[in-house]
Amino acid sequence: MNGIQMDLISEDKLDGMTSMEKVRLILDEVRNGKILILEKGLTPSEQTKLIELTMTEIAPDDFSGIEIESYPVKQSDTFLNKLLGKTSLKTRLTVIGPASQLKTIKKDRDLISALVSTP
């Protein structure tokens, strides 16, 4: 059967990885044509690392980059954080795939609609 492989990566697995491991895993899998769905998403600094590394790997007629879509981060407002006057950011579900195969149709605060095509 022809098709596109889609991997859904759990929050627990992501929590056990360093930032560099996550970025490397994503790029390797996406370059192999997979679509990844990350349950937890990436921190802002991990997203910039991913953009940087993606740029170094772009090559004409081989790899044109990635499509990445996530909901905007949420401020975590737990009771303890409020008490301590702290704010922490909560990352959210993220979809990543090859730019040549994944195209976002529409995105808003609560919906990501994308089109996936075969290579």
- Residues near another protein (CB under 8 A) are 43-45, 47-48, 51-52, 54-56, 58, 60, 64-73, 75, 89, 99-100, 106-109
- Which residue number, 9 or 26, has a Cβ lying nearer to another protein? 26
Radius of gyration of the chain (CA): 16
CB of 93 to another protein, least distance (A): 13
- Which residue number, 9 or 97, has a Cβ lying nearer to another protein? 97
CB of 24 to another protein, least distance (A): 16
CB of 15 to another protein, least distance (A): 18
CA distance 92 to 89: 10
CA distance 94 to 72: 10
- Which residue number, 10 or 113, has a Cβ lying nearer to another protein? 113
Give per-residue burial for 84-93: e unless 16+ CB within 10 Å, then b: eeeeeeebee
- Residues in a beta bridge with 8: 37
Residue 20, token pair as written in the block: 């560099």
CB of 8 to another protein, least distance (A): 19
